[in-house]
Amino acid sequence: MEPPVFRQGNVKKGLSKFRLLVAFGRRYVWKSLRNCVTVLFGRKTYLDEEALFFRQCVLHLIGLKPIRKITCLGLRGEGAGSQALMIMKAINFARSCGLTYVHTPFTRIEHAERPMKEWATSWETFFNLGAGEVVCDIPRHEVVNFSANFNNLERCFGWYWRRDELAHRFKTMVPEFRRKYYLNKSPRTTGEVTVAVHIRRGDALPDNQDYFTSNETVLRTITAVKRILDIHQAKYRISIYSQGNRADFAELSLPDVEFFLDADAIWTMEELIEADILVMAKGCFSYYAALISDGIKIGDPDRWSISPTDSWIPTDGWVPCQVDGSFDSAAFERQLLVLIQAKALPATKAESGGRPSPPGLVK
């Protein structure tokens, strides 16, 4: 039977896989030599993800032991949003390739606000991404760690040239991730329009434009949203979620705007998800909330583009925001009118409970 590497019928792909094996082979030999030296000095060896994947990749490509299962062991140094998105992409990749995703619960998530075990368990329960998935209880060599090898897995399975398609598949899976999230929660609706504005601070410094958004930019977005809400005489509440002191946001101290600074992160994430309108920050925390939210999302699509033709952002409910904070007011207004009409339903349908208080809130 012809090995999988030769069944592609595509010389370019075959050569790329060959180069991948050569590159991995060099690094594998080098890491093996380092491990040998480590043993000679009486030190313990360590599990090398690249070396392990090299063996798994070779066996897969020559057809002796195809890769069947993947998991996600987490990303060192990453926060809750980034960790959740990596698992979502792992699940999407597994479904797209006909593989089995086996779930590994969180063990470490950065920016911990409580003891790490409790912190990781709380986020595991909150995201609920393992619901309905098989638990990973098999030896490490039997499963590939997606979080350490996703780029090379794309090459190995031929998705490197079809990333647009992979992004499209991810979009179609968003309802499944939303369903998982709400398996242990209930959606919240209110009679007023709730606007959540997420501003990334803390690790986002002014000289890092990949993550920092100035107060002036946020002000332009909020002002435009308020203007349109006022035109339609909508009852609304605008809440800003960030870190720092009120003095850091002096430009944003507008009438009808409340601040929640340094509030519990899990509570904050839920507030972003449940808002009718979410003004996103630059980062995975906001992005996860926007994906799960069924409200209107205002954010920069270029942050999540993977090619000139496609991105990881679904189209429904998203209003692209420019670098200066401006956005398509007409597109926003069309979606807002639908939202206001829904709010006009009888109270028995529109109201689903009060807003929970944030733990450890600093207002």
Write down the pLDDT at residue 43: 59
Q: Which residues pair with 258 in a beta bridge?
A: 239
- pLDDT at residue number 105: 97
Instruction: Supply the DSSP symbol for 316.
Output: T
d(CA 197, CA 259) in angstroms, rounded, equals 9
CA distances to 50, 73, 273, 320 from 129, in Å? 26, 13, 16, 27
Both 138 and 218 in one domain: the answer is: no
User: Which of these three, 151, 183, 215, is where a domain ends?
Assistant: 183
**Same domain, residue pair 165 and 230:** no
Contact assessment for residue 92 and residue 169, using Cβ atoms and an 8 Å cutoff: yes
125 is a domain residue: yes
The reply to whether 62 falls in a domain is yes
Is residue 279 domain-resident? yes
Do 112 and 147 reside in the same domain of the chain? yes
Residue 357 counted as domain residue: no
Which pLDDT does position 8 carry in this prediction?
A: 44
Residues 228 and 256 in one domain: yes
Q: What is the pLDDT of residue 324?
A: 94
CA distance 156 to 80: 28
Measure the CA–CA gap between 236 and 233, rounded to whole angstroms. 9
Which tokens in the block code for residue 296? 């209107």
Domain that holds residue 265: 193-350
Same structural domain, 137 and 261: no
Of 311, 356, 317, 362, nearest to 336 (Cα)? 317
Same domain assignment for residues 158 and 204 = no
- Considering the domain architecture, whether residues 272 and 146 belong to the same structural domain is answered as no
Q: What is the pLDDT of residue 14?
A: 57
In a domain, 224, yes or no: yes
Last residue of a domain, one of 130, 160, 183: 183
For residue 319, give the nearest of 350, 276, 351, 259 by alpha carbon. Answer: 276
User: Within this chain, do residues 126 and 247 fall inside the same structural domain, yes or no?
Assistant: no
Q: Which residue has the tokens 């069309």?
A: 334
Same domain, 110 and 199: no
CA distance 108 to 113: 12
Domains contained in the chain, number: 2
Torsions phi, psi for 297 (to 5 deg) = -115, 130
CA separation, residue 352 to residues 124, 347, 358 (Å) = 25, 9, 18
Contact 188/274 with Cβ under 8 angstroms? yes
In a domain? residue 245? yes
Task: Outline where DSSP puts E strands in the chain.
Answer: 69-71, 100-103, 134-135, 144-145, 193-198, 236-242, 257-261, 277-279, 296-299, 318-320
Question: Is 362 among the domain residues?
Answer: no
User: Is the residue at 188 inside a domain?
Assistant: no
pLDDT at 60: 84
Q: What is the DSSP track for 178-221?
A: HHHHGGGS-----SSEEEEEE---TT--TT-TTT---HHHHHHH
All residue ranges of the chain with pLDDT < 50 are 1-9, 39, 45, 348-350, 362-363
Query: Are 28 and 58 members of one domain?
Result: yes
Q: Would you state the pLDDT for residue 40? A: 57
- In the chain, DSSP finds a helix count (H) and a strand count (E) of 11, 10
Q: Whole-angstrom Cα distance, residue 166 to residue 169?
A: 5
Q: Dump pLDDT digits (tens) for 127-186.
A: 999 999 999 999 988 999 999 999 889 888 888 788 899 999 999 999 999 999 999 999
User: In the prediction, which pLDDT does 2 show?
Assistant: 45
CATH number, position 240: 3.40.50
pLDDT of residue 161: 81
Structure letter (DSSP) for residue 358 = P
Domain boundary among 161, 183, 205: 183
Widest pairwise Cα distance in the chain? 76
Residue 238 pLDDT: 97
Q: Judge if 245 and 141 occupy the same domain.
A: no
